[in-house]
Amino acid sequence: MPVSIMKSNRSGLRLATIALPALLFVVLSILSPAFLSVQNLSNINGQIAALLIVSLGQLVVALIGGIDLSVGAVLSLTTTIIVSVSPDFALPAALLAGIAIGLVNGIGVTVAGVHPLIMTMASMTFLQGLALLIHPVPGGTVPDYLAGLAWTSAAGVPAAFFWCVAAVTIASFLLSMTRFGLRLFAIGANQASAARNGIAVRWYSVSCYVICSVAATIAGIFISARVSSGDATVGAPFALDSITAIAMGGVQLAGGTGSVAGVVLGTITLGLLTNGMNLVGISPFLRTAATGLLLLVAISMQRRTVIGV
């Protein structure tokens, strides 16, 4: 895609968004012989799948100018529900909880007028405590059918790949092929203008928070299966990591700009950083510093675009 086109569209994609993971890929291929092995590429896939799913949910909320800090706690709560209720009801119970949390967040932000940062931080704190009450110590047994969903492979392709493909396909369809998706961009660009044009902003906003929570729930189901246990704190880093991933992918947190492709690239960048530093043997402390630095560089190279004014 020519750079000139990328500069003018609402995807937020910039040269840096694409160049950064590509550069990391090339450098790591040269520095570490193990990097391109099938096992390692499969590992990276498994490592980023949950973050990708959460980040796609975060993208939906970010497009309308919102933010959801509760995704990590939703993920943690999901893993505790999965190992605490009867296997027959584990999935429905987790999904119902995800929908309910999304509704509360959405109604709190749109109807009660609470700032999304405060609303989702409050629910994050509540849900973290609830998860610890349900399952204070990591462990438990994940239903066999779920464990299989994360660890099986088809024609040598690991299950995590299919989780990623499904999440990307659904998100792409939702945002690019439906009126719902197009209206999210309109709301994020100018909420008042969107409302004047007949878009039911509240309904769409509540829906976005529900989608985001459900995405975090699905990621929680994947994580439960991947680590074969429930852990009330396992999701803690996902709130900030998902925001980092979408920001690296060119999504503007003020709303109206962003793309599924950008989120995929941002997530891959974070995954490559972690994997690459382990393979090359660089200090783990440097990874955190490098992530912060790369985020700053990526954001600096993405000047705020104003849409819909």
Partner 1 sequence: MKKAVKGFFGVSLIAVVAAFSIAPAIAGDDVQLLPPELLAPTTDKKTPPDKYKKAPPWTIGMVFPGVGNTWIIQMAAETKSEAARTPEIKEFIFTEANWDPTKQVANMEDMISRKVDAIIIAPIAMPLLKKQVDAALAAGIPVINLGWSKGALPSTVEVMGGGGPFGEVGGKWLRDKLGGKGTVWAFRGVAGVQEETDRYEGFKKAIAGSEITIGAEVFADWNYAKAKGLCENLVLSGKPVDGIWFSGAEMTRGCIDVFKEAGRPLVPMTGEGNNGFLRAWKESKLDSVAAVFTPELGPAALRATVAILQGKSLYDHYFSDPAPITNANLDRYYRPDLNDAFWMPSELPAAEIEKMFKK
| Contact positions vs partner 1 (CB under 8 A) | 32, 34, 37, 39-40, 43, 46-47, 50, 132, 136-140, 151, 223, 226-229, 231-234, 236-237, 274-275, 278-279, 281, 284-285, 288
Which is closer to partner 1, CB of 46 or CB of 258? 46
In whole angstroms, the minimum distance from the beta carbon of 301 to partner 1 comes to 26
In whole angstroms, the minimum distance from the beta carbon of 253 to partner 1 comes to 23
In whole angstroms, the minimum distance from the beta carbon of 258 to partner 1 comes to 24
Which is closer to partner 1, CB of 40 or CB of 305? 40
Which is closer to partner 1, CB of 40 or CB of 84? 40
Which is closer to partner 1, CB of 172 or CB of 233? 233
DSSP for the chain reads --HHHHHHSTT---HHHHHHHHHHHHHHHHH-TTTTSHHHHHHHHHHHHHHHHHHHHHHHHHHTT---TTHHHHHHHHHHHHHHS-HHHHHHHHHHHHHHHHHHHHHHHHTS---HHHHHHHHHHHHHHHHHHH--SSB----HHHHHHHH-EETTEEHHHHHHHHHHHHHHHHHHSSHHHHHHHHHHH-HHHHHHTT--HHHHHHHHHHHHHHHHHHHHHHHHHHHTSB-TTTTTTHHHHHHHHHHHTT--TTSS---HHHHHHHHHHHHHHHHHHHHHT--HHHHHHHHHHHHHHHHHTSPPP----
Which is closer to partner 1, CB of 68 or CB of 231? 231
In whole angstroms, the minimum distance from the beta carbon of 66 to partner 1 comes to 25
In whole angstroms, the minimum distance from the beta carbon of 49 to partner 1 comes to 10
